[in-house]
């Protein structure tokens, strides 16, 4: 029980097979009360109800909208009294090549994956400062490190690379207030973003580049979020943790 008595807010946590949902499940199993933030109020509430233990909440939040993030923070703080952990997990991909990216594509992918991290962090940091600390974990991707992936385009790589810089800058700025900020860089994880779209041929090809010889699952990433949320990582900030089966070796 690594999160006994703690409260955590996770964005992009309603989708059934997603990393955020698996993280909410693991955090709840470890004793945390969890706020699930996602676009749809009903789906967020249902996901919260399905978690083990009591006191979880589902809150509608569009991470690209400042007033939505502020309202979600207010609701979570009111529900729990305090928020110890923020997981900036929400994200989208678009499988486009550089020359095919419109300004609209660019804006959407940057808004959800990068601006969303800024807006939700801005919404929670004043509260964390006031209560003397907290932990923020941010979702990046191997696409940031390799300059592309199978499902994310160059704008996705740029947004996820931006997350790494933003997280380090926030770690530096908020460290003196006791707030740790870290990033996670998963490889290919089987979720709705990826899973259904892989052909057998693609899978065989991908596995040649993964020393652990399997794709990741959402729980593999949830365990790293758990480490970053808990006191096990009490002296870790500004770090980037790869969860990719050895893809970058
Ligand atoms: P997913 O589609 O299951 O989860 C993404 C969630 O974000 C969904 O619940 C979706 O509703 C939510 N979301 C989208 N736009 C939002 C917005 N504007 N406001 C609030 N919520 C919003 O996919 P996933 O694979 O679990 O992705 C979770 C995160 O992990 C994403 O940031 C993704 O980029 C990242 N990631 C995934 C992989 C992978 O291989 N699956 C690899 C590296 C990084």
Residue 246 lies in a domain: no
Residue 1 lies in a domain: no
Residue 249 lies in a domain: no
Residue nearest to atom 38 of ligand 1 (CA): 189
DSSP secondary structure letters along 219-241: HHHHHHHHHHHSGGGTT--S-EE
Question: What is the domain extent for residue 203?
Answer: 7-241
Decide if 85 contacts 33 (C-beta within 8 A). no
The pLDDT assigned to 153 comes to 95
Collapsing DSSP states into helix, strand and coil, what is residue 186?
Answer: strand
**Residue 153 Cα to ligand 1 middle (Å):** 15
Decide if 16 contacts 239 (C-beta within 8 A). no
pLDDT digits (tens, 9 = 90+) for 157-200: 999 999 999 999 999 999 999 999 999 999 999 988 776 678 88
**Residue 126 Cα to ligand 1 middle (Å):** 25
Count Cα atoms within 13 angstroms, Cβ side, for 100. Answer: 7
pLDDT digits (tens, 9 = 90+) for 15-44: 999 999 999 999 999 999 999 999 999 999
pLDDT digits (tens, 9 = 90+) for 102-125: 999 999 999 999 999 999 999 999
Q: Among residues of the chain, what percentage have pLDDT more than 70?
A: 99
Residue 2 lies in a domain: no
Q: Is the dihedral of CA 110, 104, 191, 65 positive or negative?
A: positive
**What separation in angstroms does the CA of 24 have from each of 125, 224, 225, 229?**
20, 13, 10, 12
Instruction: Say how many C-beta atoms besides its own lie within 10 A of residue 213's C-beta.
Output: 9
The pLDDT assigned to 195 comes to 61
Residue 160 lies in a domain: yes
The pLDDT assigned to 207 comes to 95
Mean pLDDT calculated for residue range 67-89: 98
CATH label of the domain that carries residue 80:
3.40.50.720
Q: Which residues are catalytic?
A: 156
pLDDT digits (tens, 9 = 90+) for 191-237: 887 766 788 898 999 999 999 999 999 999 999 999 999 999 999 99
Strand arrangement, sheet containing 57-60? 57-60, 33-38, 7-11, 85-88, 134-139, 179-186, 240-243
Question: 17: which residues sit within 8 A by CB, 6+ positions away?
Answer: 190, 191, 192, 195, 218
pLDDT digits (tens, 9 = 90+) for 132-159: 999 999 999 999 999 977 778 999 999 9
Residue 68 lies in a domain: yes
Per the structure, the count of domains in the chain is: 1
Counting ligand 1 atoms within 8 A of each CB, the residue from 17, 58, 91, 190 with the most, and so the one to mutate, is: 91
**Residue 195 Cα to ligand 1 middle (Å):** 13
Residue 151 lies in a domain: yes
ipTM over 0.85: yes
Residue 24 lies in a domain: yes
The pLDDT assigned to 196 comes to 66
The answer to whether the CB of 92 is under 6 A from ligand 1 is: yes
């Amino acid at each position: 029980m690594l999160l006994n008595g703690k409260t955590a807010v996770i964005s992009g946590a309603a989708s059934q097979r997603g990393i955020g949902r698996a993280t909410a499940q693991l955090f709840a199993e470890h004793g945390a009360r969890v706020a699930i933030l996602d676009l749809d109020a009903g789906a967020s509430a249902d996901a919260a109800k399905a978690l083990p233990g009591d006191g979880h909440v589902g809150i509608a939040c569009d991470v690209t909208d400042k007033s939505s993030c502020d309202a979600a923070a207010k609701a979570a703080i009111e529900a729990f009294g305090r928020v110890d952990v923020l997981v900036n997990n929400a994200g989208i991909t678009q499988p486009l090549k550089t020359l095919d990216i419109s300004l609209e594509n660019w804006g959407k992918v940057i808004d959800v994956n990068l601006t969303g991290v800024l807006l939700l962090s801005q919404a929670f940091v004043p509260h964390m400062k006031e209560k003397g600390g907290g932990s923020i974990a941010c979702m990046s991707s191997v696409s940031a490190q390799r300059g592309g992936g199978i499902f994310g385009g160059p704008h996705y790589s740029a947004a996820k690379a931006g997350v790494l810089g933003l997280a380090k800058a926030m770690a530096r700025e908020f460290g003196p207030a006791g707030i740790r900020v870290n990033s996670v860089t998963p490889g290919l994880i089987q979720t709705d973003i990826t899973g259904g779209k892989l052909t057998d041929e693609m899978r065989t090809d991908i596995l040649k580049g993964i020393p652990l010889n399997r794709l990741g699952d959402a729980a593999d990433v949830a365990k790293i979020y758990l480490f970053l949320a808990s006191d096990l990582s009490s002296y870790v900030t500004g770090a980037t943790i790869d969860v990719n089966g050895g893809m970058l070796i």
